Structure 1
């Protein structure tokens, strides 16, 4: 995982970061107040986005990454090329996807090559820092259909 400069990102990465940050405005997180936005690019180059949607019992909570993937699948595409996740951090650590979201990304990126951009926002939801990694780095030896 490496920290990157917004100015050195390519147009595709900038577009994903901008859309992920925008999606935070739509987050429904009245209980945790932890707003998350995500935007992914599918294998055809189309952008799909999502935000977290909480439930009072938290078991029904939809994670931003999952909502973006669900949005992609309903269009008929089943391959994630890259994804950006944005959230307000309390430190300089990147807001990494949880284990469930890592596995869900893996379901739609079988070779682990999915590029993942992690966008850490400050208290006013401005970009503080950005990290670039891959699915393989976040979820090595992921569970897949080859084990079934």
Structure 2
């Protein structure tokens, strides 16, 4: 199932997983709850939420949590990602998470950006992290 097509039903499943993860976020300092979900190469969905820490910047982003859950489950490729947050602005992955996604996703991987009400837009990883450095740069 390596060539997964992200259908509307998969988008909905990713959105639902990210929304459920957002509710579990631990953000007592910023009160900015984020959920994320990653679709792996086997068609499975892995979710994560942001976890803050009083010792900034020791917290963990939702995308990093979802990637960790994916790795723990034995997967190595992110085929699509959903990031869900509140507010009028788009909640896109931070720079560090863009690079973390680059480790496990290809430049054409779809990154969906959502609110708790809807999927708002999408980008490819290439659009979010152009001319990126990835694992292939370290091969000889």
Q: If the length of structure 1 is used for normalisation, what is the TM-score?
A: 0.84
Corresponding residue of 2:67: 69
1:21 positional shift: 1.1
1:128 positional shift: 5.6
Structure 1: gaps spanning 5 or more residues: 1-8, 121-125
Greater share of strand: 1
> 2:16 and 2:90 mapped to 1: Cα distance?
16
Distance 1:25 1:142, change over 3 A: same
Query: Is this contact kept in 1: 2:82–2:112, CA < 8 A?
Result: yes
Query: Out of 107, 114, 125, which is 1:135 matched to?
Result: 125
Structure 2: gaps spanning 5 or more residues: 1-6
Query: Is this contact kept in 1: 2:15–2:119, CA < 8 A?
Result: no
**Cα-to-partner distance string for 1:22-72 (whole Å, 9 max, x where unaligned):** 111100000010100001100110010000000001221010000000000
> 1:35 and 1:133 mapped to 2: Cα distance?
21
Query: Out of 98, 113, 117, which is 1:118 matched to?
Result: 113
Report how many residues are paired: 132
Q: If the length of structure 2 is used for normalisation, what is the TM-score?
A: 0.88
Q: Any idea what SS the aligned residue of 1:100 has?
A: helix
RMSD: 1.4
Query: Is this contact kept in 1: 2:112–2:119, CA < 8 A?
Result: no
Q: Provide runs of 4+ in structure 1 moved above 6 Å.
A: none
**Cα-to-partner distance string for 1:96-147 (whole Å, 9 max, x where unaligned):** 10000000000001x3121111013xxxxx4165111110111111111343
